[in-house]
Amino acid sequence: MAVYHFSRRGGDLIFRAGDQEVNVVHLQLVEELLKLLEKGISVLLTGPHGVGKSIAAYTAAYLTLERGGVVIDLASDTTTFAEYLRIAKRAKWAFAIFDATPPQFYSESEIWSEHATLWRDRCGQIMARADYVRRLGFPAVVVLASDLATRCRKELAQYEKITTTPDVKIAEEIFLRNGDVFCGEDYAGEVVKRLAHFGEGLYFMAYHVAKTLHYCDEDPEQRVKSAIDAYVERLTTLARALYINTCTAARVFVQALAARGLPPPLASLAVHHDVVDTRIRSLEKLSSLLDKLSGPHREYVKILALQAAEELKRLMRPHWQIKALSGGLGPLYEEALKKAAEEAVKKCGVKPAEVKIRALVKAFVIAHEAGDDLAKAIIAIAVGENPCQGKIKALCRGDTLQEEIIHAILYPTRLSVEIPPSEKKGLMFYAGLRAEEVSEKGWIEVLNYLYEASERGRVDLRPFRDYVDHALRSGSPITKRLALAAVQNAAVVPGDLLAQALVTAVELGVDYESLLDKYVETVGDASLVVEKCGEKCGDVIIVVGVASAARRAKETPCDALRQLEIALIGAGYADVVNKYQPHRRCIQPI
């Protein structure tokens, strides 16, 4: 089977794939590609699916053949490859080519997706061939969709990279030149405008609409929907071929798809969540033994712990699936991946496992001995700085630590409590201890630090919420006042801490107006104060309830009514509220 079928007719370039015939539209990319190849520069041609990469590459190949050159197929069998090289040495010039989804893919996707699986399994062999051809003095062009360019990335780094982007004018020309009926530029513009929204598959879908259009009064929206379905069907075939060749691969694919929003190390651990959970428990047992043993026994256990940590590190090295799926993929390819995943679930009975991010973060910290960096990250969160530092930086995306990972680090207790830092003094020391494990002196040290930091900038009390809570509940009057000041100055305060601060202020008999305003602004729910204080804080409950009701009245009137009920409870009318419960009869507007 030939790799390409191009010909000339009346000066036009024609591409044939099976019974399909495509009038090829001139792409400026072809000239750019030929210039680089003629200079002996090897090229990586990448970009979204269905935007003309393959047609550009094979147009360049056809023009090369017209000029007496030779095009070497890097995917050919060994004998044919040797013959290509023999002919290339006698030709004027030559270049090599590999395309993971060649033009024929869109007409016979089941067959031609084999090129993509060849790249998946043997990209090293393809690149070794390309390297051999380059050493002979011939450049190479490798055509890959963005997700497939994650394979053999190191080898591809030597290539000049050209990223293709869809062009609306070219799509319109494809539509006009390939249509069996001519409906004018306005109709073409309407179709392409709807297709261009997706940023992928534009040229294929424009061609598909042109070939399936029979009358000019057909609804463009329906034609576009048909083209999208055809495009997604082909990408689903590709995804199935790439990721679901066995049930084990299907499990990895489904789990990788579910976890790809996480940073690569955690996403890789999520794929092996069952193994990771076992390794964590083993490491924790070995770590506890290390503290109890000495001499040769300690050294032996230490070796076992290092081996277990290395196994975890191996598991968190991102597989190519993680790298491929975590990139910026188009919405239609996303739909195809989802369909392929659904097929995998039906075929192999696999489904995304529930993964605890906290366990994944713990695995990372233990394996990389990142206790100190974890404590530094906790302190950075507390003082409004970037926690992406040291080894923790590997858990960040775009120099930002995701909120769900911050939550995994801080709740239900700080992760550093279980993996304490080696530092035995200062705030790092307290980042590795619970508030109940230190005396009031420790609470004061932490509060002083947080208060001073709040004078300089933004402070988040979540990392040391237990210290603040203990100080508000059990501290001396001076400690309680210091905690109130820290709560008042902090930029981020958990709602239950704010409620406890209000209760403490009432108990101390100090002014709480500013705390009240802050509570209404950030929490806006009087029920927390009722739970913590009851009738003792009646005045506070009334103010919070009425103020919260006023804030919610427009968008959620039923919630506003509930806040007014709580205000009445604070005023001593709990029996009336419990009897009639007006909020239960309220209908929230849609």
Give CA–CA dist 5/1, Å, rounded.
10
Residue 215, pLDDT above cutoff 90:
no
Give CA–CA dist 462/481, Å, rounded.
19
Highest mean pLDDT, choosing among 188-192, 376-380, 496-500: 376-380
Question: In 3-state terms, what secondary structure has residue 149?
Answer: helix
pLDDT at 1: 39
Q: What percent of the chain lies above the pLDDT cut of 70? A: 97
- Helix-then-strand count for the chain, H and E: 30, 8
Give CA–CA dist 470/441, Å, rounded.
12
Tokens linked to 80: 């044919």
Single pTM value for the model: 0.79
pLDDT one-digit tens code per residue, 452-477: 999 888 999 999 999 999 999 999 99
Q: Name the DSSP letter for residue 12.
A: E
Q: What percent of the chain lies above the pLDDT cut of 90? A: 42
Q: Where in 2-115 does DSSP place strands (E)?
A: 6-9, 12-17, 20-23, 43-47, 70-73, 94-99
pLDDT one-digit tens code per residue, 310-319: 888 888 888 8
Tokens linked to 444: 């004061």
Answer yes or no: are the C-beta atoms of 526 and 551 closer than 8 Å: no
Tell me the mean pLDDT in the region 497-515: 88
Q: What is the largest CA-CA distance in the chain?
A: 100
Question: In 3-state terms, what secondary structure has residue 386?
Answer: coil
pLDDT one-digit tens code per residue, 378-408: 999 999 999 999 999 999 988 899 999 999 9
pLDDT at 220: 83
Give CA–CA dist 510/501, Å, rounded.
11
Q: In which band, very low, low, confident or very high, does the pLDDT at 301 lie, cut at 50, 70 and 90?
A: confident
Q: Which tops the pLDDT comparison, 432 or 581?
A: 432
Q: Which residues, 6 or more positions from 62, have their beta carbon under 8 angstroms from its beta carbon?
A: 4, 6, 13
